Amino acid sequence: MRHVIALDVGGTGMKAALVGAQGELLHQTRRATGRERGPDAVVETILDFAAELRAHGSRRFDEPAAAAGVAVPGIVDEQHGIAAYSANLGWRDVPLRDLLADRLGGVPVALGHDVRTGGLAEGRIGAGRGADRFLFVPLGTGIAGAIGIGGRVEAGAHGFAGEIGHIVVRPGGTPCPCGQRGCLERYASAAAVSEAWAAACGDPEADAADCAKAVASGDPNAVRVWQDAVDALADGLVTALTLLDPRTLIIGGGLAEAGETLFTPLRDAVRRRVTFQKLPEIVPAALGDTAGCLGAGLLAWDLLTSTDGTEESA
């Protein structure tokens, strides 16, 4: 059976799969990233993991993987296959695509940014399926974004497209590690909500999920903290949809797990802010933590369709 290798590399763990031609997950496995051992060890772990997946596919399907896709965090030069920088993993200018191709016997390899790769999967086979224009925004430790256009995700001229978390929504506000003040992710990320709720309720262990539960039970302090985050998020999203005019707005990440506790007030807040703009459909992400792996598989299959000279899927 023809298949590809898909790897989703995170700060603490790696998810991997063998993916069939229709996007089916034929085999899934996980492994610790081991970042405490340093960037060189992380790279070697990725290469070893990929080689093990290739060997498993050869045994199980009587042929090696036809291609591989890998999604990594940080700054990624997708065109040249270089993992340029990751604060979490500590690496700089790693020629990961070439290293993987060598370890895997010369098969084509695609390298992608983790959020854009997850957005690719959500756009093509997840919550944005069928939408010609979408914006995927995961609300996690930070806030990132993936701009989908015609079945592709736009990286930008320098690989920074979609960084919605660094839109300034509160000028002169809370300092952000990026160097600005008042960035969206300092108010509306899961980490920001956790920090605000821990301070409001006096429990340093409290997090965003606890805040959402308190909102559902009607706690007025929780409602205030939650609404502040929703208002900041709506301000950032309206700026984005004014620029991009997406048909579908896909919200994922840890904060989206609150379900309608998030989506009902968020839809209302966005609706109140739009004037001439067309209101997109605002929907939860559908693929959960498999999005990165599925997206890496799509990147790999795209390499094969372009190599085969056939039209790439949209």
Instruction: Please write the tens of the pLDDT for every residue from 212-270.
Output: 999 999 999 999 999 999 999 999 999 999 999 999 999 999 899 999 999 999 999 99
Look at residue 106 and tell me whether its pLDDT is greater than 80.
yes
Q: Is the pLDDT of residue 172 over 60?
A: yes
Residues 1 and 17: their CA atoms lie apart, in Å, by 14
Q: What is the pTM of this model?
A: 0.89
The confidence score (pLDDT) of residue 310 equals 44
Report the pLDDT value the prediction gives residue 158, as an integer from 0 to 100. 83
Q: What is the pLDDT of residue 308?
A: 57
Q: How confident is the model at residue 314 (pLDDT cuts 50, 70, 90)?
A: very low
Minimum mean pLDDT among 75-79, 190-194, 298-302: which range? Answer: 75-79
pLDDT at 311: 41
Confidence of residue 307 (pLDDT cuts 50, 70, 90): low
Mean pLDDT of all residues in 120-148: 94
When pLDDT is averaged across residues 276-291 and rounded to a whole number, the result is 94
Average pLDDT of every residue of the chain:
93
| pLDDT at 63 > cutoff 50 | yes
Looking at residues 163-175, what average pLDDT do you find?
A: 96
**pLDDT value at position 141?**
86
Residue 169, both tokens: 């929504």
Query: What share of the chain has pLDDT > 90, as a percent?
Result: 83
